[in-house]
Amino acid sequence: MLDALKKANPHIPLYAVTDAAFAPYGRVLAGETDALCDALRETAIPAEGNCYVASHPALETVDVISAWQHAVYGDMAVQAGYCNGSGDTLNAMEYHKGSEVNCSDTGLVLLLALPEDLKDGRLKSADVKGFYLPPRVAVEIHPRVLHFAPCRISKDGFRCLVVLPAGTNAPLDHIDTTAPGEEALLWMTNKWMTCHPDSPQAQKGAFVGIEGENLKVHLP
């Protein structure tokens, strides 16, 4: 699959999450994911676009979530939900001040950038790299690593587990994209975001800071 993705997407540097190139962005996690992927498979892929559910009890009660809560989050409270859809475009990049765990039963591509690539809220899309996440492989995305919704690798779309510190992505009482410094990027609880001018997020009033091509992952 990775070779096919590379052939279809020469405009994006693409690697597997098992490649050494992934180390600055995250790590592959140990743990049995069969039961998790079985539960994830019961969640729906929308007919259009993407959907995000922050907390889904059928996922949160799977044993491996408790194991990751201890090993990754040091027993902090977490939420386990999902992002499902058919998205294929960069559009925006966000980061959290806490790790994010992803796993998929479909496989997908994660578009990622390093914290040092972001300068005053500005990010060049040429600095973004793609990482193929195979089915049933779980990864931890390090704090502050820039990411957004996964990209599909088949016409059927993707399903992706999303584990985050509890409360992440809850609405804020006040948003000010003209505020000084990092505060201009604060879009939701524990979510700082910059977006491409051609994105739906820009139309909603998010901070516009991605320069260059609004990258699209083409199907193999």
In-domain check, residue 211? no
- 147 Cβ contact partners less than 8 Å away, ≥ 6 residues apart: 93, 94, 95, 100, 110, 111, 112, 113, 141
Specify if 32 maps to a domain: yes
Tell me if 42 is assigned to some domain: yes
pLDDT in tens, 164-216: 999 999 999 999 999 999 999 999 999 999 999 999 999 999 999 999 999 99
Task: Report the pLDDT value the prediction gives residue 84, as an integer from 0 to 100.
Answer: 98
Q: Are strands 191-195 and 186-188 parallel, antiparallel or unpaired?
A: antiparallel
Per-residue pLDDT band for 15 (boundaries 50, 70, 90) equals: very high
Asked whether residue 136 is domain-assigned, the answer is yes
Render pLDDT for 45-81 as a digit per residue (tens, 0 to 9): 999 999 999 999 999 999 999 999 999 999 999 999 9
Residue 148: the pLDDT is: 98
Structural domain containing residue 105:
2-6+20-170
Using CA atoms, how far apart are residues 79 and 81, in angstroms rounded to an integer? 7
Report strand pairing: 210-211 vs 123-124.
Answer: parallel
Amino acid, single-letter form, for residue 1: M
CA proximity to 149, closest of 177, 122, 112: 112
pLDDT per position as a tens digit, 16-30? 999 999 999 999 999
**Residue 182 located in a structural domain:** no
**Is 11 a member of any domain?**
no
Sign, CA dihedral 203-168-28-127, equals positive
Going by pLDDT thresholds of 50, 70 and 90, the confidence category of residue 133 is very high
Read off the pLDDT of residues 95-127 as tens digits, 9 standing for 90 and up. Answer: 999 999 999 999 999 999 999 999 999 999 999
**39 is a domain residue:** yes
pLDDT band of residue 34 (cuts 50, 70, 90) is very high
Q: For the whole prediction, is pTM greater than 0.95?
A: yes
Q: 38: domain CATH number?
A: 2.60.120.620
CB 100 within 8 A of CB 27: no
Q: What is the domain count for the chain?
A: 1
Structural domain contains residue 47? yes
Collapsing DSSP to helix, strand or coil, 34 comes out as helix
